[in-house]
Amino acid sequence: METGTLISLALYFIAMLAIGVYGYFKSTSDLSDYMLGGRRLGPGVTALSAGASDMSGWMLMGLPGAFYVAGFSEIWLAIGLVIGAYINYRVVAPRLRVYTYMAKDSITIPDFFENRFADSSRVLRLVSAIVIIIFFTLYTSSGLVAGGTLFENAFGMDYHWGLLLTASVVVAYTLIGGFLAVSMTDFVQGCIMFVALVMVPVAAFMVLGGVGEVTTQVSALNPAMLNPFYGATFLGVISLMAWGLGYFGQPHIIVRFMAIRSVRDFKVARRIGMTWMIVAIIGAMLTGIAGAAYVQMEGASLVGNVYMNNDGSLANSETIFIVLSQILFHPLVGGFLLAAILAAIMSTISSQLLVTSSALTQDFYKSFLQKDASDKVQVAVGRLSVLLVAIVAISLSWVPRDTILGLVGNAWAGFGSAFGPLIILSLYWKKMNRWGALAGMLAGSITVLFWIYVPIAGAPLTTHLYEMVPGVLLATLAIVVVSRLTQDPHSDVQGQFDDMQTEMVRNAE
């Protein structure tokens, strides 16, 4: 490995750990501070933290790889994500911030469900915590796979050592600094990702001779890559755009909305977050397209490179960002660009670890095992939970069995279906009750698992239609039907909903 690359990566690791230590001294005095940063995040940190924790390793590896292989036929996924993120800021964020605070200052999503529906049975808390633990452990494993793949392909390091190194650093700063450290590192990592996703495609287009030459080379490779409608089917487009539905139910993203200091900050946060996201996604798309042109032109001369096959093709399409960053830039800059991939990976892993830890601590340990546990004990349990979840995720990712994008897609659909309709309707429908909420969670989760893992006519249904679509539809239907067939919520629950709407009006003035 080049000395310059080592220096850049070392500085990145040191910076992340330093932020973790700062977070420890700044805000880990009680569970609310450790898990939600005391609801004091500014709009900039909120926006980039939400964006960085959303755009995991798939943004710099999975998405460029998809465009490298299929071209602009994948653009529907990007369009769906942008629309979903915008609606999330407008529809979910403000009400969730207000409602979680009014519902007994709920600091976790299961906490909110229980308090929102006055669920004395605690079944909503239990089931939602189980959903979080299952899907986030799988989601975390996808990030660790990306980390191991990065070190294996970029540095020739053994995949397992790369996986362990990624896990060690991210666990260290998450365990030490809690939510504040995670949010601050996400902010820094979001800035690094933004710069990288501008630098790499711009440099690639300049080296290749501009847009015209890139278009010529891609057309020579496969003219269909420039046609967003090539090979498109109705179900295929719906499946790609349906990724946007997942935003409303992603705990590691919407928890940022719960932590912002004021509802009035969302306008600024939305502008920052959407600008960051659109530029980043365009950069990832163009990296894949430019990468296809570059390999088309230079593939034969790259044979012998660790990334290449003997016929001049790329060995793994999801490494195209790595290839361009290491070939086109000085090692010192190349190391910074590799740090951007680590930033994408680590920002998401840390958020997922913290949310899963909060579920184990607040929604299992305190709620069912030690109801009078002190804040000090709960923070200690939270840190132990981070470590335990990381160990399980490492074991699941020890032998990678799917692409990074595929692993992310499964977990994304699981949360989007289980929690998305539940979150939206709980914020906007006063007559929704706890039995409808429970039915929606179960319907969404079970549908996704069935769609992914149960073969029909020799193949899982997900090969025909993304599991998010039936998951969200059936969850919504279950919530509405069961809520209408069972008893209306208690007057106190409906009164709290009215108070939330009054507060929203006041904040809008």
Cα gap 60→42, rounded to integer Å: 26
Give the pTM: 0.84
Tokens of 507: 């904040």
* Res 93: pLDDT: 92
Q: Which residues pair with 455 in a beta bridge?
A: 460
Mean pLDDT score, 199-227: 88
Cα gap 487→477, rounded to integer Å: 17
Helix or strand holding residue 456 (H, E): strand 455-456
Residue 197 has pLDDT above 60, yes or no: yes
pLDDT tens digits along 175-196? 766 666 666 777 777 788 888 8
Cα gap 7→5, rounded to integer Å: 5
Of 334, 316, 313, the residue nearest 325 (C-alpha): 334
Q: Which CATH superfamily is domain 3-508 in?
A: Sodium/glucose cotransporter (1.20.1730.10)
Mean pLDDT score, 408-436: 91
Residues 6+ apart with CB under 8 A from 62: 146, 318, 403, 404, 405, 408
In this structure, the number of other CB atoms found within 10 A of the CB of residue 491 comes to: 8
DSSP conformation class of 460: E
pLDDT tens digits along 93-133? 999 999 998 988 888 888 899 999 998 888 998 888 888 88
- Provide the residue type at 148 as one letter: G
CA angle 489, 494, 497 (to 5 degrees): 130
Q: How confident is the model at residue 56 (pLDDT cuts 50, 70, 90)?
A: low
Residue 417 has pLDDT above 90, yes or no: yes
In order, the DSSP letters of 432-451 are --HHHHHHHHHHHHHHHHHH
Residue 198 has pLDDT above 80, yes or no: yes
Cα gap 143→264, rounded to integer Å: 33
Range name among 40-54, 76-90, 235-249 with the lowest pLDDT average: 40-54
Tokens of 121: 């049975």
Cα gap 162→506, rounded to integer Å: 51
Residue 37 has pLDDT above 70, yes or no: no
Mean pLDDT score, 188-210: 87
Residue 154 has pLDDT above 90, yes or no: no
pLDDT tens digits along 239-266? 889 989 989 998 888 888 888 888 888 9
pLDDT tens digits along 280-339? 999 999 999 998 888 888 766 766 666 677 777 777 787 888 888 888 888 888 888 887
Cα gap 174→176, rounded to integer Å: 5
Assess contact for 419 and 249: CB atoms under 8 A: yes
Q: How confident is the model at residue 481 (pLDDT cuts 50, 70, 90)?
A: very high
In order, the DSSP letters of 283-341 are HHHHHHHHHHHHHHHHGGGGBTBTTB-TTS-BS-GGGHHHHHHHHHS-HHHHHHHHHHH
pLDDT tens digits along 157-173? 788 888 888 888 777 77
Cα gap 362→218, rounded to integer Å: 52
Cα gap 388→393, rounded to integer Å: 9
Cα gap 283→139, rounded to integer Å: 24
